[in-house]
A and B are shown apart, each in its own frame.
Chain A
Amino acid sequence: MSKVSTQPVTTNLSVPKTTKKSYLNKIGFGFLYLILGAFAIIQIYPLIWLVFFSLKTNQEVFGMSPFSLPQDPNWENYTRAWTSGNIGLYFFNSVWITILSVVLTTILASLVTFAVTRMHWKLSGLVLGLFLVAYMIPLHSTIIPLFNMYNNVNLIDSPVSIVLSYTTFNLPLTIMILLGFYRTFPREIEEAAVMDGCSVHRIFFQITLPMTVPVLSTTAIINMIYNWNEFVFVNTFISSDKWKTLTVGINNFVGQYLTDWGAIGATLVISIIPILLTFLFLSNKIVEGMAAGSVKG
């Protein structure tokens, strides 16, 4: 209402200035676009450069300007990267370890969040606090004792140690994101179900869980990115090639081929393609999850 009544007044006032102002405005806007565009180039160009050198021969890399385009795309780098290392195996390990951990984290976190926000018990605050405080503990401080514990139960060099670690260390963040959703979510449907004599398990699995699918997919994607990119746990707990994931695998592989830029570039491109594809199709979910994960509420 107030907008409608005041608008004519302001336009009237600013009429004499408009020509001068819009001219300045244009220059200002052009300048701002220049900054934003330059920043976009800084963020994206290193990756384009990576794709370029992944398609170059060694002569091109060492003999020509780094900014030159690959003359004749050398796809052979990709076949060499894929066949000479264990990239295929690392890729497979990354996929199943990531998926299994994401599923476990999401289910366990949902159960906890449900119990804390929907059920009535005295210690719920304390339990929730334990999860939230765990978020502040740097994982590096746990890594030596964890190594020793896994070692004592023969889980060193076993993917079980990796799945357990991924599942556990993602619980606090996942619960934090879920909590925001559960707290604002109406509980009338669940209460009605209780009245109708529904069991808790049915309420959780058939009512609550399906209703939280939007936030579950957000947390799943965020977890997926973290697990896919994780390095320290695998680097510390896994020693045989059989169970290495892509991050650690390519790090070792690339270390061996210091001078073969083409193969290194191709390996790196292979490792980031799944994430970039996910981003291409689900960027809104990722943006939402990253914002929710950092700033609760």
Chain B
Amino acid sequence: MKNVMSNKFVITLYTLPALLLILVLIYIPITLSGYYGLMDWDGIGEMKFIGLENYVTLVQDKVFWTSTWHSFQLAIFSAVSLLLYLGISLVLASKIKGSDLLRKIYLIPMLLSSVAIAQLWMKIFDPNNGMANRLLEIFGVENTPLWLADPEIALYSIFIPVIWQYAGFYILIYYAALKNVPDEVIEAAKIDGANALQIAFRIKLPLISGIFKVTIMLAVVGSLKYFDLIYVMTGGGPNGASEVMASYMYKEAFKLNNFGYGSALGFGLLVICLVMTWLTSKLTKSNDDVQF
């Protein structure tokens, strides 16, 4: 039996195609990204080796740090909004009628492309004919905001569709986790006289803390590399007000043809994402085994 199932030729045949793909299209490019970062290069002409100059520029680049700060704001915001989703999931999972339908309705925005979401919300935020400002007027707000056109609030305006997009996804995860809490445990608590709030906070939440930690990591790392929606809605504008790490990298490379510096930025993005993945998993790691 060992012979057939340890046939080297078959193993190679089965794994090599996929392995080659990820090596050539994922691992080699990230290595090259660090290497291109050492070059002065417009993407077409000759590369010129300039050592660490791009990385020195990067460290001193105010726009990079502003963009990074914007990405981190999104990460913090996403992580905090998880509490809202958790609250909703707790209610949903408490044997409520129609929870299945509601859960699916919540998920619908997650299925749409970022382009569709971005274009739709650009219309919602339209200062004159959009839904957002008319809604504010109904509630008596007089100086309605310009949303995406206002540098002060453009970034935060984009956070709204981000929440809208991902809410259903996290609710889905929490709901599934809460449904896995054994009924016997809850019944036992009820018999001991625990009320609904005590059951939620003392029993259900501790039991799904492992999943909660995983979602924190998903939300943080996902936010740090967030790109599509911002690229379509504002392109990082107005005047860099909503620029994030990935959009800044993209602009440097494909708009300004600074492939060398763009690669350095891409490498910086990679390092920050990996460090944050490691850090969040360290910070949230406890005795439960968080699988990821």
Measured CB to CB, the residues of A under 8 A from B are 3, 6, 10, 29, 32-33, 35-36, 39-40, 42-44, 46-47, 49-50, 53, 61-62, 65-67, 108-109, 111-112, 114-116, 118-121, 127, 130-131, 134, 136-149, 164-165, 167-169, 171-172, 191, 194-195, 198-201, 204, 225, 228-232, 236, 246-248, 250-251, 254, 261, 264-265, 268, 271-272, 275-276, 279, 283, 286-287, 290-291, 294-297
Distance in angstroms from B23 CB to nearest chain A CB is: 8
Which 5 residue pairs of A and B lie closest in terms of their CB atoms, listed nearest first? A229-B113, A142-B29, A145-B32, A145-B29, A141-B270
Is B104 engaged at the interface, CB distance under 8 Å to the other chain? yes
Query: Is A231 a contact of B4 with CB atoms below 8 Å?
Result: no
Partner of B88, one of A39, A265, A275: A39
Query: Is A40 a contact of B105 with CB atoms below 8 Å?
Result: yes
Residues of B within 8 A of A254 (CB): 119
Instruction: Check A43/B168 contact, CB under 8 A, given A35-B91, A62-B129, A112-B14.
Output: yes
Q: Could you list some 16 contacts between A and B, CB below 8 A?
A: A43-B164, A112-B15, A116-B15, A138-B225, A141-B273, A145-B29, A147-B43, A149-B29, A168-B21, A246-B113, A248-B115, A272-B113, A279-B107, A295-B173, A295-B214, A295-B291
Distance in angstroms from B175 CB to nearest chain A CB is: 9
Instruction: Check A200/B5 contact, CB under 8 A, given A141-B270, A144-B33.
Output: yes
Is B147 engaged at the interface, CB distance under 8 Å to the other chain? no
Query: Is B30 a contact of A141 with CB atoms below 8 Å?
Result: yes
Instruction: Check A36/B96 contact, CB under 8 A, given A43-B106, A145-B263.
Output: yes
Q: How many A-B residue pairs have CB under 8 A?
A: 276
Residues of B within 8 A of A47 (CB): 108-109, 120
Distance in angstroms from A255 CB to nearest chain B CB is: 9
Distance in angstroms from B166 CB to nearest chain A CB is: 11
Nearest residue (CB) in B for A10 is B191
Is B22 engaged at the interface, CB distance under 8 Å to the other chain? yes
Residues of A within 8 A of B274 (CB): 136-137
Query: Is B273 a contact of A136 with CB atoms below 8 Å?
Result: yes
Query: Is B119 a contact of A294 with CB atoms below 8 Å?
Result: no
Nearest residue (CB) in A for B134 is A66
Distance in angstroms from B118 CB to nearest chain A CB is: 8
Residues of A within 8 A of B24 (CB): 149
Interface size class for chain B?
35 or more
A198 to B3, CA, bound (A): 12
Query: Is B91 a contact of A247 with CB atoms below 8 Å?
Result: no
Distance in angstroms from A18 CB to nearest chain B CB is: 14
Nearest residue (CB) in A for B222 is A138
Is B83 engaged at the interface, CB distance under 8 Å to the other chain? no
Residues of A within 8 A of B227 (CB): 140, 232
Is B277 engaged at the interface, CB distance under 8 Å to the other chain? yes
Residues of A within 8 A of B80 (CB): none
New A-B pairs, 4, CB < 8 Å, besides A134-B27, A148-B32: A46-B131, A130-B23, A200-B10, A279-B104
Query: Is B263 a contact of A144 with CB atoms below 8 Å?
Result: yes
Residues of B within 8 A of A44 (CB): 105, 108
Instruction: Check A108/B18 contact, CB under 8 A, given A195-B1, A268-B120.
Output: yes
Distance in angstroms from A69 CB to nearest chain B CB is: 14
Query: Is B116 a contact of A272 with CB atoms below 8 Å?
Result: yes
Query: Is B88 a contact of A36 with CB atoms below 8 Å?
Result: yes
Instruction: Check A272/B14 contact, CB under 8 A, given A62-B129, A119-B6, A264-B119.
Output: no
Is B62 engaged at the interface, CB distance under 8 Å to the other chain? no
A11 to B18, CA, bound (A): 61
Query: Is A251 a contact of B115 with CB atoms below 8 Å?
Result: yes
Query: Is B33 a contact of A142 with CB atoms below 8 Å?
Result: yes
Instruction: Check A138/B116 contact, CB under 8 A, given A44-B105, A121-B11, A279-B108.
Output: no
Distance in angstroms from A292 CB to nearest chain B CB is: 9
Partner of A130, one of B19, B214, B262: B19
A29 to B253, CA, bound (A): 54
Is B242 engaged at the interface, CB distance under 8 Å to the other chain? no
Query: Is B105 a contact of A144 with CB atoms below 8 Å?
Result: no
Partner of A164, one of B15, B21, B128, B130: B21
Partner of A261, one of B18, B43, B123, B270: B123
Instruction: Check A141/B266 contact, CB under 8 A, given A36-B92, A247-B115.
Output: yes
